[in-house]
Amino acid sequence: MQFRLEKRREPSKAMIYITPVVAVVLTMIVGAVIFSLIGYDGIGAVREIFLTPLTNSYKWQDLGIKAAPLIIIGVGLSIAYRANVWNIGAEGQYVIGGLAGTGIALLTYGMTGWWILPLMVLAGMLGGMAYAAIPALLRTRLNVNEILTSLMLTYASVQLIYYLIRAPWKDPMGMGFPQTRLFSEAARLPTIIPGTIVHLGVPIAVLVGIVAWFIMTRSVFGYRMRVVGAAPHAARYGGFSENKTIWLAMLVSGGLAGLAGVLEVAGPFQRMVPGFPTNYGFTAIIVAFLGRLNPLGVIVAGIVLAITFVGGEVAQTTIGLPNAATGIFQAMMLFFLLAGDILIKYRLRRVLPQPSVGAA
């Protein structure tokens, strides 16, 4: 029995929503098999990673604060990727956003005032934008591939943290630890549910997703991103310049990554530490694709990926799964998703064996 891929007349709408679900299910099955084969409790691992974070209400707040940065960055990336602008360096823009916010927090140390947090947020977004502007400039002026430049700049940004927190920004009372001092009260993100760690960044993430969805579906800006990605030639014919689109895409995705960075440093961290880069910027790439490059989908995908993070930690303590297992599960998800995506434009058909040429 043979199968053949056949092009569909219209891309399947159903498949757009089915493949992410199938990808998650396949990840669970294959993950269980693989971890059983190498001697762990595979089914237990899948249960701990995918179910415990949902069934254990103590873990819900962790889910929220892990999902928030993933969603904010993922929304920005989903917009850029729509326009075929491949910003891989959200992690770096997230770091620079966090650093810019830290800078304001340290400058205003000891001061009070409602304006400090908004100023930090603004600085964080501008920082992320500025860092994304480098690949944009190189791409539009010199035609340098933005995938490489944005990725490499990530590593530079991490070195910048190490430099700043070891020398100029080092906590004077820190007993030599490489970290900044704890932000003053006015520079910390307030929690929104008393008694939990759920901070203002969580509702902001949901709001960002909803606003971005509205802009992408209803506005000329969203149309521009979609048409440049779907048919660059047609976009030029329709009056959308390619360079302007690259700039917009890089600035929006960089700005949102910067926003996530500043919310993260002012929320859960409340100071800059060497462990600030937590790969949210890279994981958000999976979030963007799992969410079908649709901001509303990104909200859901952000939660799914947050589950694997939280669940991965649970599995580490309960069944001794290595930390890398989380990465394996996340990578499998992206792999199955991209592989499954072919079914959107093609369908699988069984081919009956053909009788051979029957002449003569």
Binding site for another protein (CB under 8 A): 9-11, 218-221, 223, 226-227, 230-231, 233-234, 236-239, 241, 354-360
Q: How far is the CB of 316 from another protein (least distance, A)?
A: 43
44 closest CA partner among 325, 294, 350: 325
Q: How far is the CB of 353 from another protein (least distance, A)?
A: 10
Of 195 and 358, which has the nearer Cβ to another protein?
358
Of 227 and 246, which has the nearer Cβ to another protein?
227
Please tell me the distance from the alpha carbon of residue 68 to that of residue 198, in angstroms, as a whole number.
10
Of 228 and 298, which has the nearer Cβ to another protein?
228
Q: How far is the CB of 221 from another protein (least distance, A)?
A: 7
- CA 115 centroid distance within chain: 28
CB 278 within 8 A of CB 211: no
Of 12 and 184, which has the nearer Cβ to another protein?
12
| DSSP secondary structure letters along 123-179 | HHHHHHHHHHHHHHHHHHHH---HHHHHHHHHHHHHHHHHHHHHTTT--TTSTT-SS
Q: How far is the CB of 241 from another protein (least distance, A)?
A: 7
Please tell me the distance from the alpha carbon of residue 71 to that of residue 300, in angstroms, as a whole number.
8
Of 71 and 293, which has the nearer Cβ to another protein?
293
Q: How far is the CB of 84 from another protein (least distance, A)?
A: 13
Q: How far is the CB of 359 from another protein (least distance, A)?
A: 5
Of 159 and 217, which has the nearer Cβ to another protein?
217
Which 3 state secondary structure label does DSSP give 153?
helix
CB 315 within 8 A of CB 49: yes
Element (H, E) at 3: strand 2-7
Please tell me the distance from the alpha carbon of residue 337 to that of residue 64, in angstroms, as a whole number.
24
- Say what angle helices 13-37 and 295-318 make with each other, to 10 degrees: 10
